[in-house]
Structure 1
Amino acid sequence: MAEARDHAATMDAMYRYQRHFYDLTRKYYLFGRDRLIAGLDCGAGDKVLEIACGTGRNLVQIARRYPSADLYGLDISEQMLVSARAKFRNAASPPRLLVADACDFTPATFGQSGFDRIVISYALSMIPDWQQALRLSIGALNPGGSLHIVDFGQQEGLPAWFRAALVTWLSRFHVNPRADMLAVLEAGSAGARLRFEPIGRGYAWHAVLQTQERIPVF
């Protein structure tokens, strides 16, 4: 609990001012977000949760592409949610946005029994107990639901000097690319289908974990 409070305070301190220009700057190096959104393939009434939704940039794009989906978002930083709520100030059906810890939530946090799509975009690399966040996200999926992740990869196809410089720069913002992200997903994918693709020679990784389909009730 103390670790979560400390992390929340760190994120609020970092984003209190950064949130005002976050979207403008991040579009130049957070690659793969729109590819992830295009692959959500949401149907009418699907419940979509974004973990660590930040300024709401992705939720805005999801709402435009899938206007009949029901959207939800959580973030540990109240400061970031100030910007997210502002984006939906005039929306007829804004997403439900809550201050919550990605390592301590359930669908019931939002009054739901599960979600059809869960999105984690460039957040696992900033969540201290990211394995727990993955476990909770997988457990929050409805049967037939899917978890969609994009985050920094290991730059496996890029020069070593580039990776070293990028990792050093990212560490200034409390970002640590998770080298074993794929292995953790594979370990937690029993009974599910895992799809993985590197983006930009490993600059980013994109993964989709698809749970078993719903069983029809006759």
Structure 2
Amino acid sequence: MPYPFESKKTEQPSTYFVQDRQNESEFTRLILQDQMLTAAMGGNFSEQPEPKAFRRVLDVGCGTGGWLLQAAQTYPDMSLFGIDISKRMIDYAREQAAISQHTERVEFQVMDALRMLEFPKAFFDLVNMRFGFSFLRTWDWPKMLSEMQRVARPGGIIRITDSAIQHISNSPALTQLQQMAICAFLQAGHIFEQERLGVLPHLERLLTRYGVRRVQTKAYSIEFRAGTSEGQAYAEDMGYVYKTIRPFLKKWGCLAPNYDEIYRQAIEEMQQSDFCSSWDLLTAWGERD
């Protein structure tokens, strides 16, 4: 697929909560999380009544590209574009597109979404962003939503999916880790208040305030239990994220002195036969004028 909008900028410093772009644990985690959550949420566009009507789709902050490659398999008539600030993530996503023989319909590009979405006006039918709180600060939302609307066609869909930070589980140690994460994301400016749901309570208001029309939401509460493949994937995901987030917690003064002990205890508790956790997510979407 021709892609004439190649960014000429070199890779810029990132506001993403994992600064080490060579971190193998984070790389593995993103691949795992893509597969786990897309399936648990019922597919790429489970809340959309006519997803086949989307001919051209952009995924902002696409990471390793799993969400777009899943969409390519499901919707053979879509042209799909993904951008991420990490060259390594984009290189991997391009390799996977080649392996799955989707390079004619799926294009990945290194781009800093906080600067500009380097696409023509009114280019996309749907502009998607998942887990934006991981790199967006509270003051970044107006420009981001403005850019998403600029590159969407009139009547096109702006779609945001985000995640709670603290999940409801029977692991006291995991809860402690997640409370430290809330502290750090608040101090770093990624969330509006010290709230376990992160930005979820604000998504509908943000889209409406910054010009998106007819905003709707769909909430998910996904259960993970020990002894299931989904539960094991969840435990692996949490193990990876609280291994990689340690420098971020330390930077913002939220790292407990006994962090390593709490981390080990959380890993043990997530392997217990009675472990269960409920992960809240929210998708908010609406139309561009």
TM-score range, shorter chain: 0.7 to 0.9
Aligned length, in residue pairs: 204
Percent identity between matched residues is 20
Normalised TM-score (structure 2): 0.58
Higher mean alpha-carbon deviation, 17-26 vs 140-149, is at 17-26
SS at match of 1:19: helix
Per the alignment, residue 85 of structure 2 pairs with 76
Aligned pairs for 1:61-210 (under 5 A) are: 61-90=70-99, 91-92=101-102, 93-106=104-117, 109-110=118-119, 113-128=122-137, 129-153=140-164, 165-169=177-181, 176=191, 177-178=198-199, 179-189=201-211, 192-200=213-221, 203-210=280-287
Structure 1 residue 35, shift from structure 2 partner? 4.5
Structure 1 residue 211, shift from structure 2 partner? 3.2
Q: Cα deviation per residue 1:160-211 (whole Å; 9 max; x = unaligned)?
A: x887752424777987532533321121235x21001222188211111123
Amino acid at match of 2:127: I
Larger Rg belongs to: 2
CA contact under 8 A between 2:34 and 2:66: conserved in structure 1?
no
CA contact under 8 A between 1:198 and 1:206: conserved in structure 2?
yes
Match of 1:49 among 52, 58, 65: 58
- Cα 1:10–1:206 shift into 2, 3 Å: closer
C-alpha distance in structure 2 between counterparts of 1:154 and 1:36, whole Å: 21
C-alpha distance in structure 1 between counterparts of 2:161 and 2:16, whole Å: 25
SS at match of 2:63: coil
C-alpha distance in structure 2 between counterparts of 1:88 and 1:211, whole Å: 29
C-alpha distance in structure 2 between counterparts of 1:164 and 1:186, whole Å: 34
C-alpha distance in structure 2 between counterparts of 1:143 and 1:189, whole Å: 12
Amino acid at match of 1:63: A
CA contact under 8 A between 1:36 and 1:150: conserved in structure 2?
no
Per the alignment, residue 216 of structure 1 pairs with none
Per the alignment, residue 211 of structure 1 pairs with 288
C-alpha distance in structure 1 between counterparts of 2:183 and 2:34, whole Å: 15
- Cα 1:185–1:210 shift into 2, 3 Å: same
SS at match of 2:68: helix
Structure 1 residue 14, shift from structure 2 partner? 3.9
Normalised TM-score (structure 1): 0.74
C-alpha distance in structure 2 between counterparts of 1:98 and 1:147, whole Å: 20
Match of 2:20 among 3, 13, 18: 13
Structure 1 unaligned regions, length at least 5? 213-218
C-alpha distance in structure 2 between counterparts of 1:102 and 1:137, whole Å: 10
C-alpha distance in structure 2 between counterparts of 1:145 and 1:112, whole Å: 12
- Cα 1:186–1:164 shift into 2, 3 Å: farther
RMSD: 3.6
CA contact under 8 A between 1:8 and 1:76: conserved in structure 2?
no
Higher relative contact order (CA 8 A, sep 6+): 2
SS at match of 2:108: strand
Amino acid at match of 2:73: R
CA contact under 8 A between 2:17 and 2:135: conserved in structure 1?
no
SS at match of 2:283: strand
SS at match of 1:61: helix
